[in-house]
């Protein structure tokens, strides 16, 4: 049986009428074939080929496309350019059978593990009377009621609710409870229901439904009667008014400050006069006359300086040869020159204050009759 719109391979016979045997060796170059599809002839898409020239002489095959097979009746006919060779026509009737895998679109339906048909897309109409054998309304209603009670849906409108009826953390519990584990038992309908909230708003909320905002006069009266801070502000401002009055505390403080500022201002004026007299960089201090009153003070300062300098022990020190000497070095060098010394040939060695450490040396021009000495070290 051929399936419509499905490609298939068919066979046909090339017959040698002179020898009454199948003819071998035919090909598309010898054969002219036509596929007659529901009465309309056309050349086949594919070329014929020989099946088996040895074991099936004269039998040829050709593959029809799905489009060529899309018909009710098809006939393959043709002719050969070889003498005495005829092509025996073959007619095929096509059937509309599933052309896809089972359970696929266009294929045969299959059943699942519950023996239900797979792939049924249309809604099935069920006659409950036929199923039950009688009116099944009561049974269906009873089943629905049982399911509603099982899941607690009856408590929405037709049954009272206890805490155990609503599971913790369910949507309903979370709507009425702010706890980390939402619990229906937290809900108090007398104070937290919509009606209770509305009643409270109407009676107490100044901005709730049915209320009105206070007037300016009401706000002023409330502040005058109950605001302790406002009263304190009024008391402070009254006190300030008294303090600022002539002779008041703040007025006296201000007057005292002004008098002190006047004194400071006079001092500054005197300083400005003195600095103007001194001039820039002390230019006005030239030719300052000596004041005899300074004599005693200057003499005292000089005496103190001399006493401090000449009564303190000096650190022994000597200048190098041909080097400038400080006053302290000069005194020690004079002491060395006239103090303890030793002559050896033409060398004179002067000692430090300790009498043993060499301080300076000189060289004489003659060991017996010297006329000159020069410092050596």
Query: pLDDT tens across 114-165, in order?
Result: 777 775 544 455 565 655 556 656 777 777 888 887 877 777 767 777 767 7
Q: Which residue has the tokens 């519990």?
A: 173
- Distances from the Cα of 40 to the Cαs of 34, 48, 74, in angstroms? 9, 20, 9
* Beta strands 90-95; 2-3: pairing state: parallel
How much is the pLDDT for 228? Answer: 77
Sorted by sequence, the CB contacts under 8 Å of residue 302 that are 6+ apart come out as: none
Ranges under pLDDT 50 in the chain:
121-123, 208-209
User: What is the DSSP secondary structure assignment for residue 323, as one 8-state letter?
Assistant: S
How much is the pLDDT for 211? Answer: 56
- CA 372 to mean position of chain CA atoms: 99
* Beta strands 347-351; 358-364: pairing state: antiparallel
User: What is the DSSP secondary structure assignment for residue 211, as one 8-state letter?
Assistant: -
Type and span of the H or E element at 8: strand 8-16
Coil/strand/helix, residue 360: strand
Closest CA to 314 of 301, 302, 303, 326: 326
- Distances from the Cα of 84 to the Cαs of 22, 81, 200, in angstroms? 11, 9, 115
- Give me the sign of the Cα torsion angle 140, 141, 146, 150: positive
How much is the pLDDT for 126? Answer: 59
How much is the pLDDT for 240? Answer: 80
User: What is the DSSP secondary structure assignment for residue 209, as one 8-state letter?
Assistant: T
Compute the distance between CA of residue 313 and CA of residue 304 in angstroms, rounded to an integer: 16
How much is the pLDDT for 179? Answer: 87
How much is the pLDDT for 123? Answer: 47
How much is the pLDDT for 73? Answer: 95
Total H helices, total E strands in the chain: 10, 14
Compute the distance between CA of residue 112 and CA of residue 11 in angstroms, rounded to an integer: 41
Half-sphere exposure of 46 (CA within 13 A, CB side): 17
Compute the distance between CA of residue 167 and CA of residue 169 in angstroms, rounded to an integer: 6
How much is the pLDDT for 219? Answer: 83
How much is the pLDDT for 58? Answer: 96
> What's the mean pLDDT when you consider all of the chain?
84
Give the number of other Cβ atoms within 10 Å of residue 22's Cβ: 19
Please list the residues that pair with 60 across neighbouring strands. Answer: 12, 50
How much is the pLDDT for 193? Answer: 82
């Amino acid at each position: 049986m051929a399936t419509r719109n499905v490609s298939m391979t068919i066979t046909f016979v090339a017959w040698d009428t002179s020898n009454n045997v199948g003819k071998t060796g035919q090909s598309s170059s010898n054969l002219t074939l036509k596929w007659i599809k529901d009465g309309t002839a056309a050349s086949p898409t594919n070329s014929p080929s020989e099946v088996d020239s040895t074991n099936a002489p004269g039998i040829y095959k050709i593959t029809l496309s799905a489009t060529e097979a899309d018909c009710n009746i098809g006939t393959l006919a043709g002719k050969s350019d070889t003498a005495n060779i005829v092509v025996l026509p073959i007619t095929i009737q096509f059937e509309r059978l599933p052309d896809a895998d089972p359970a696929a679109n266009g294929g045969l339906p299959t059943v699942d593990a519950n023996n239900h048909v797979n792939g049924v897309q249309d809604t099935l109409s069920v006659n409950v009377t036929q199923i039950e054998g009688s009116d099944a309304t009561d049974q269906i209603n009873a089943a629905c009621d049982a399911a509603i009670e099982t899941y607690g849906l009856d408590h929405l409108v037709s049954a009272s609710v206890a805490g155990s009826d609503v599971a913790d953390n369910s949507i309903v519990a979370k709507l009425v409870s702010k706890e980390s584990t939402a619990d229906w038992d937290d809900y108090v309908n007398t104070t937290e229901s919509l009606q209770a909230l509305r009643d409270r708003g109407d009676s107490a909320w100044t901005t709730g439904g049915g209320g009105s905002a206070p007037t300016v006069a009401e706000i002023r009266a409330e502040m005058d009667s109950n605001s302790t801070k406002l009263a304190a502000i009024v008391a402070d401002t009254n006190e300030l008014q008294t303090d600022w009055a002539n002779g008041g505390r703040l007025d006296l403080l201000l007057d005292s400050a002004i008098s002190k500022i006047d004194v400071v201002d006079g001092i500054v004026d005197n300083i400005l006069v003195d600095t103007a007299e001194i001039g820039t960089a002390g230019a006005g201090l030239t030719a300052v006359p000596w004041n005899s009153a300074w004599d005693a003070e200057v003499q005292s300062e000089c005496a103190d300086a001399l006493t401090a300098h000449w009564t303190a022990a000096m650190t022994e020190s000597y200048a190098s040869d041909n080097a400038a000497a400080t006053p302290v070095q000069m005194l020690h060098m004079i002491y060395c020159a006239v103090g303890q010394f030793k002559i050896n040939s033409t060398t004179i060695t002067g000692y430090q204050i300790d009498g043993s450490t060499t301080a300076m040396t000189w060289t004489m021009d003659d060991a017996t009759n010297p006329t000159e000495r020069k410092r050596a070290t």
